[in-house]
A = this chain, B = another copy of it.
Amino acid sequence: MRNTRRSFLYHDVATALRSRIARGTYPPGERLPSLSELMEEFEVSAITVRRALTELTYEGLIRGHQGLGVFVKEKPRIHRVLAGDPDRSIGDEIARAGFTPRLEEVGFNELEADDDVAARLRVPRGSRLFMHQKLTFANDEPVALHSWWFRPRLAKQLRTDLSEQFIFPLLKKRKIDVENLRCEFSSTALREEHAAHFGQPAGSPMMRIDYTMTTKAGAPVIIGQTVARADRFTFEVNLSQRRGRR
């Protein structure tokens, strides 16, 4: 008798608020009624309203500020087209969404390949590699963290420009031709080690894209990863279907 899903209070409240946001009763940027007002209106306790608000926060619909109130989030997403025009960078796309883009190098480190990276780059475990990490901001809010792993030679070749340029335009400029780009999209929770960069609690919903750039022969050249705030991004790819690419 699993279908007799009785309803729960917090769920009803969350649903009601969701629909008000969707239909514009609470438009983007506006403040929601206070906790105590919502308690009165729905005739429930604080913890029930709280739980409903927590859910909507996870969904990226609202954001609370202590002492101020809870606000409906502005919705424009950054629309990132992967492997599109290499002259159009993620910076341009952030600007198109109406935000001011900024770029900040987090680190450029030498390290030894762990199991995961070694397998993806097809180098022996423990090999010397370089990792480059960059944060992108939209209106001074960090929205995506990009990590790239290079073999030493390529790392030295690109080092100076990496801190100021995005990688796709850079590769084009340096005439390093990458024949194939494999992207793996998944959805994760913000990991503890990345939480500080985003100023958000570990566990926030994130999108993750793992990149593998390969030569024509299929040998991996560069691997990378983007961890982006799930509520701020849409990623687009265009696939042309000319004969089976296998």
Contact = CB atoms under 8 A, between A and B. Distances in A.
A85 B238 contact: no
A246 B205 contact: no
A187 B189 contact: no
Output the residue of A180, A186, A187 with the most chain B CB within 10 A.
A187
B184 A187 contact: no
A230 B59 contact: no
A201 interface: yes
A237 B236 CA distance: 11
B189 A246 contact: no
Interface stretch (A10-18, A26-34, A101-109, A125-133): A10-18
B187 A205 contact: yes
Given A55-B203, A203-B55, A205-B205, A245 B84 contact: yes
A237 B182 contact: yes
Interface in A174-215: 177-189, 192, 199, 201-203, 205-207
Contact of A189 (B60, B84, B203, B242): B60
A86 interface: yes
Per assembly, the copies of the chain total 2
A230 B235 CA distance: 15
Contact of A238 (B19, B202, B245): B245
Nearest to A171: B241
A191 to B, nearest CB: 9
A182 B83 CA distance: 12
B86 A244 contact: yes
Interface in A130-184: 177-184
Interface in A63-109: 77, 82-86
A239 B179 contact: no
Contact of A185 (B14, B85, B236, B246): B236
Contact of A239 (B2, B19, B181, B234): B181
A185 B238 contact: no
A240 interface: yes
B187 A230 contact: yes
A40 to B, nearest CB: 23
A230 B188 CA distance: 8
B181 A241 contact: yes
Given A59-B203, A83-B241, A245-B240, A185 B182 contact: no
